[in-house]
Amino acid sequence: MKLTHHFKNAVTGLKTNKTRSFLTIFGIVIGITSIILVMSLGAGAQNFILSQVQGLGSKTVAVVPGRQPKGPSDSAQLFSDSLREKDLVALQRKSNVPNLSKVMPIVFGGETGLYENNTYRLTVFGGTELISSIFDLVPEAGQFFTEDDTRSRANVVVIGSKVKDELFGASDAVGQKIRIKNLNLRVVGVLPKKGQVSFFNFDEIAIIPYTTAQEYIFGIKYFHRMIVEADTDKNIDQVAEDVRITLRNSHDITDPDKDDFFVQTQADLANRLGTITTALTLFLVAMASISLFVGGVGIMNIMLVSVTERTKEIGLRKSIGATNQDILTQFLIEAVVLTSIGGIVGIIIGTGLAFLIGQILINFAAISWPFNFPWTGAILGLFVSATIGLVFGIYPAKHAASKSPMEALRYE
């Protein structure tokens, strides 16, 4: 008997009981949907995170206080006060880091901004005038504060577009004063809509001199980060090494294993985050795959029920010349068709949900979320679903093929 005829018989058998067929593939649909959704969102998250890391530019090096964490238990090491003004002065000496182009200390934290009766929860970012070139920020109105403002701890602020809208509405913000933690700050500039750049949403930010932030906002004498920029891409590794040597000398550290800071290039951070997101995605895919096994067991169960209900049909087909191989092939094809349809439906639903979630993040969370269709996951999903139909359909198919035609015809 030709394979096309077997296929037609299988489709006819599935159409006979559409409700049962739908319930049979439901488990496969859930499993494939979960896999596609996880893989698509995982790829999107990885691209989003890497784009934020790369938003600083390829020539930048981040200096982070505390020992570099080796695992979850070391996360507390990140909260350290090891980076101070003397370290900034040491890095600014050309003899210590010859290929350094810029260095900027950073302090940051969440605070509430107040203008008249309007309040808004914003991020205070303390830096220097170099933030404009490092983060590629050009005010839409007004200008950035100057080096003299940083040196004199001036009460000046550059605000993001959303901060301006929430506090001032359609009114001009430049020249007005906002209040942050009992400190009146004069608005000298307003940023255009910028969005997320390297973990900071510059639409929801208030940028002030780091000296002002340390003295009047946070009450600290240390830095949360330092951003170093090399003069050229090829000198990044040398700059990173010179920074390590300079800070070890500044901190009187002779054993590198006792560093109370760590240095990350953008390539280092991108590779580390890429590895983490990939591992997390694979873990979630493995968890979602459990539902495919459950769906396979469900298919075997339903197919066995189908064999029992169609016993007379099997006997009739055998009585007019159908062989055991014909019966086996038909039921196997039915199982594979069921799971393949479930795989296709799961891919469509999973892709649709991933796209919908991406649009929600873009429109409501102001996150530039890249949509990714996981071609590898789609191909794998189709292959796995067909394989499940084949594997879990073998036993019911053999059970059907082994039935005696005479006993099958007499079955009630």
Instruction: Give pLDDT tens digits for 231-269.
Output: 887 888 888 899 999 999 999 998 888 888 988 876 665
Q: Where are the domains of the chain?
A: 3-52+272-409, 81-259
Please give the pLDDT value at position 72. Answer: 47
Q: Hey, CA dihedral for 29, 34, 40, 41, is it positive or negative?
A: positive
Task: Please list, in sequence order, all residues whose beta carbon lies within 8 angstroms of the beta carbon of residue 224, skipping any fewer than 6 positions away.
Answer: 65, 83, 106, 107, 108
Q: What is the Cα–Cα distance from 146 to 379, expressed in whole angstroms?
A: 56
pLDDT of residue 146: 93
For residues 198-216, give the mean pLDDT: 90
Mean residue pLDDT across the chain = 79
Residue 324 Cα distances to 86, 100, 135, 321, angstroms: 86, 79, 72, 10
**Digit-coded pLDDT (tens) for 166-190:** 999 989 999 999 999 989 999 999 9
Query: Which pLDDT band holds residue 76 (cuts at 50, 70, 90)?
Result: very low
Q: Name the residue among 94, 52, 129, 131 with its Cα closest to residue 231.
A: 94
Residue 408 has pLDDT above 50, yes or no: no
What CA–CA distance (Å, rounded) separates 231 from 412?
87
Query: Which residue did the predictor score with more confidence, 78 or 380?
Result: 380
pLDDT for 411: 47
Highest mean pLDDT among 66-70, 132-136, 150-154: 150-154
257 token code pair: 């294993």
List the one residue out of 132, 133, 134, 228 whose CA is nearest residue 188: 132
Residue 205's pLDDT band (cuts 50, 70, 90): very high
Tell me the backbone φ, ψ of residue 31, rounded to 5 degrees: -65, -50
pTM of the model: 0.58
